Amino acid sequence: MSEQTRSVMVEETRRSAGAGDVGRRIAARREELGLTRQDAALRAGIAAGYLRYLEQQPSATPGTSALIRIADALDTSVAALHGGGAGLPPGAGRAAGHSELIELDPAECRARLSTHGVGRIAAHTTEGLVVLPVNYTVVEGAVAFRTAPGSVLATTVGAHVAFEVDHLDEALSQGWSVLVQGRARAVTGAAVVRRLDALAHSCPWAGGADRDLWMRVDEEGISGRRIAVH
């Protein structure tokens, strides 16, 4: 992709993003950093009430000066808050000058899996090797996700699969990844399915009412790495 094409994609994304989208991105970045609204407002030099207004009102249109201060306070950019990188893969920034790859122990890996998120399942199927994103939930230490009966992922029942989740901090050139390897199996018990439905943090982003087959990965190994910058 040429630099001109990339610039056009970024500009189109920025124009299509509504004011409400900016507020949601501000809130998401603030929560990612573990900041309260009061903390973020103090960093940006704005009133906490104004920040609440931006985050909660779809019609809110922050001024350029305020948006620059908010972006600086959240260690991000105005373009990112406008969704400028939404159509591009993560990790386009430069690598840090002094970085180190550090192995994570199993406890750290499970902590970074957290309770839910979006990860990727890799498996050999009749269609070849596939890697597909899934919304997942961690229940009793196992990764569980929903798919549609008859889907590509449904054919991996009983097969050895790999599940990967990662996070990149573009501003600091840091990141981490966790890999879970094990057997995929279908969850069929009615009581267990009801419990998973109750514990799921969200419906699959891909939508579709037929994604009612719960699957889990019975862990046989877990490993992880993180990039530390000195």
| Residue 7 confidence (pLDDT) | 46
Residue 92: pLDDT over 80:
no
Answer yes or no: do 112 and 21 share one domain. no
pLDDT band at 17 (very low <50, low <70, confident <90, very high): very low
Answer yes or no: do 47 and 118 share one domain. no
Answer yes or no: do 112 and 212 share one domain. yes
Cβ neighbors of 136 (< 8 A, separation 6 or more) are 116, 117, 118, 119, 143, 144, 145, 163, 165
Answer yes or no: do 22 and 131 share one domain. no
Answer yes or no: do 54 and 165 share one domain. no
Give the total number of structural domains in the chain. 2
What are the strands, taking DSSP E only, across the chain?
99-104, 116-125, 128-139, 142-147, 160-169, 174-186, 213-229
Give the domain range for residue 215.
Answer: 99-229
Give the integer Cα–Cα distance in Å for 107 and 122.
Answer: 23
pLDDT in tens, 28-58: 889 988 999 999 999 999 999 999 999 998 8
pLDDT band at 129 (very low <50, low <70, confident <90, very high): very high
Give the integer Cα–Cα distance in Å for 118 and 143.
Answer: 11
Cβ neighbors of 230 (< 8 A, separation 6 or more) are 98, 99, 100
Give the integer Cα–Cα distance in Å for 168 and 224.
Answer: 14
Answer yes or no: do 67 and 143 share one domain. no
Answer yes or no: do 63 and 106 share one domain. no
Residue 185: pLDDT over 50:
yes
